[in-house]
């Protein structure tokens, strides 16, 4: 048997999933259940998870799936779900509830130069990223250092979301490993048997390398920026 608050939270999560396919945030759950702190939400979530009513999807933030409803389900309506979600985000009528997989934890592999090449470090941290920014395939994130790509809208401190690939077309923005030890974020172009890495800043010159000196390690799939 669940407590009244556990019932309310379970129904609130279920209604939100049915409405938009995205589970509510902890702040939304706190407000809907009129709790004083998010720690109360954490306790309710843990209790529901231990009893097998919900599960957290691995490697994703804000990702909950309702597994079952209690036999003694409370007939009262669920706490109000915000009606402001755009229609495009709502599940089609009759569609099954989708698990909340709107945020993915990408490996964050250190910093990459948007200037002269620097080493791209292999880190162990992760970066939460909206899944809508990514397509198919394997992705990772790099923090941008430098200003050579500012005319492409890529600023110092941004996070480049990179699709892992070893091939790219001319004109695509890629993570290029130079001479096996330095990585940089640039436009890729091929010219007279050479590889040209172009900046997006008139203050910088293109960089030319032999075809065997440059290895494509991925191409830009998206960008995240934090405002302080």
pLDDT by residue (tens digit) across 202-218? 999 999 999 999 999 99
What's the confidence (pLDDT) of residue 100? 42
The stretch 98-107 carries a mean pLDDT of 64
Q: How far apart are CA 77 and CA 46, in angstroms?
A: 23
Q: In the chain, what percentage of residues exceed pLDDT 70? A: 77
Q: What are phi and psi of 111, to 5 degrees?
A: -110, 150
Closest by Cα among 186, 182, 174, 175 to 149: 186
Asked whether residue 90 is assigned to any structural domain, the reply reads no
Structure tokens at 4: 């009244």
Name the more confident of 108 and 101. Answer: 108
What's the confidence (pLDDT) of residue 60? 55
Q: How many domains, the chain?
A: 2
Asked whether residue 99 is assigned to any structural domain, the reply reads no
Q: 45, 72, 99: which is the final residue of a domain?
A: 72
pLDDT by residue (tens digit) across 112-147? 876 555 445 455 578 888 777 777 888 888 889 889
Structure tokens at 66: 């309702």
Same domain? For 159 and 213 the reply is: yes
> Which CATH number is 192's domain given?
2.10.109.10
User: Could you list the active site residues?
Assistant: 148, 186
Name the more confident of 26 and 176. Answer: 176
Can you give the residue range of the structural domain that contains 23?
A: 4-72
Q: How far apart are CA 32 and CA 40, in angstroms?
A: 12
Q: Are 184 and 120 within 8 A, CB to CB? A: no
Provide the 3-class DSSP secondary structure of residue 145. strand
């Amino acid at each position: 048997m669940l407590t009244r608050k556990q019932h309310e939270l379970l129904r609130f999560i279920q209604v939100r999933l049915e409405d938009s396919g995205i589970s509510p945030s902890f702040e939304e759950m706190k407000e809907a259940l009129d709790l004083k702190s998010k720690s109360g939400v954490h306790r309710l979530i843990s209790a529901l998870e231990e009893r097998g009513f919900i599960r957290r999807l691995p490697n994703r933030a804000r990702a909950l799936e309702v597994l079952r409803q209690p036999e003694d389900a409370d007939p009262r309506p669920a706490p109000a779900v915000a009606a402001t979600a755009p229609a495009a985000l709502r599940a089609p009528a009759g569609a099954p509830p989708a698990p909340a997989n709107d945020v993915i934890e990408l490996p964050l592999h250190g910093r990459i130069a948007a200037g002269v090449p620097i080493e791209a470090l292999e880190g162990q941290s992760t970066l939460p990223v909206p899944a809508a920014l990514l397509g198919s395939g394997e992705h990772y994130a790099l923090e941008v250092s430098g200003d050579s790509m500012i005319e492409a809208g890529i600023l110092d401190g941004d996070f480049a979301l990179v699709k892992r690939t070893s091939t790219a077309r001319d004109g695509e923005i890629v993570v290029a490993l130079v001479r096996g030890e330095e990585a940089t974020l640039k436009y890729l172009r091929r010219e007279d048997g050479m590889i040209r890495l172009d900046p997006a800043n008139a203050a910088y010159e293109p960089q030319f390398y032999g075809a065997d000196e440059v290895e494509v390690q991925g191409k830009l799939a998206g960008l995240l920026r934090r405002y302080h």
